[in-house]
Chain A
Amino acid sequence: DAKTTQPNSMESNEEEPVHLPCNHSTISGTDYIHWYRQLPSQGPEYVIHGLTSNVNNRMASLAIAEDRKSSTLILHRATLRDAAVYYCILQSLLTGGGNKLTFGTGTQLKVEL
């Protein structure tokens, strides 16, 4: 399975943009890049996903490198509620259907006033 590498932790100030990096040098051509986050005592929550092009939604933006070996999740204005563990995940579509998300250990984002 293709793996992702993320920093263990990052810090940000409230109201500032946050760029969370992820390396996935062994990504295959059909793997989707997903980001989930997990707040304390909750299940993971979908943030965004993409294949090749940059993506934007109400929560965040996803910037994907041209060679797809890395990506960056961008939170445009961090708030205290964004403090969570952020997981960069590759989604592999399985032969015969189904899909598989392989989670790593993620990046703990701390947001300070």
Chain B
Amino acid sequence: EAQVTQNPRYLITVTGKKLTVTCSQNMNHEYMSWYRQDPGLGLRQIYYSMNVEVTDKGDVPEGYKVSRKEKRNFPLILESPSPNQTSLYFCASSALAGDTGELFFGEGSRLTVL
């Protein structure tokens, strides 16, 4: 089954404790992206990647890092989480960078930073 898988789905952590949210897709997609969703603000893009070893900032990249060492994986790294990073995070992928087609989203990772 074609899917985008995120882990963990739920996480409560404390300020400053490094964490990684993993994202994996099994569709051989070139393009992957991370969004965060907050009440009243919709989904905002954090980072995106057009292919292996190619990443770029989205609208709200501060406090986040990403890497794209393999085509299928695109982890989101919070080096020193803060309470304002409490949010619902979504990973998404599409077949081609620059493609105008469908984005496939994961089920989301709800992060709480105390």
Q: Which residues of A contact B (CB under 8 A)?
A: 32, 36, 41-46, 49, 51, 87, 91, 93-94, 97-106
Contacts and interface: CB of A to CB of B under 8 A. Distances in A.
Given A87-B42, A97-B50, 6 more contacts: A43-B108, A44-B92, A91-B100, A98-B48, A98-B50, A105-B41
B110 to A, nearest CB: 9
Given A99-B31, A103-B42, A104-B42, A43 B97 contact: no
Interface size class, chain B: 20 to 34
A24 to B, nearest CB: 15
Contacts of B106: 43
Interface in B94-114: 94, 97-108
A45 B59 CA distance: 21
Contacts of B108: 41-43
A29 to B, nearest CB: 14
A101 B99 CA distance: 12
Contact of B102 (A42, A46, A106): A46
A103 B35 contact: yes
Interface in B9-57: 31, 35, 40-45, 48, 50, 56
B90 interface: yes
Contacts of A91: 100
Contacts of A87: 42-43
4 closest Cβ pairs, A-B complex: A43-B105, A103-B43, A46-B102, A103-B42
Contacts of B61: none
A99 B30 CA distance: 12
B30 to A, nearest CB: 10
Nearest to A48: B102
Contacts of A43: 4, 90, 92, 105-108
A91 B45 CA distance: 12
Contacts of B58: 100
Contact of B100 (A44, A93, A102): A93
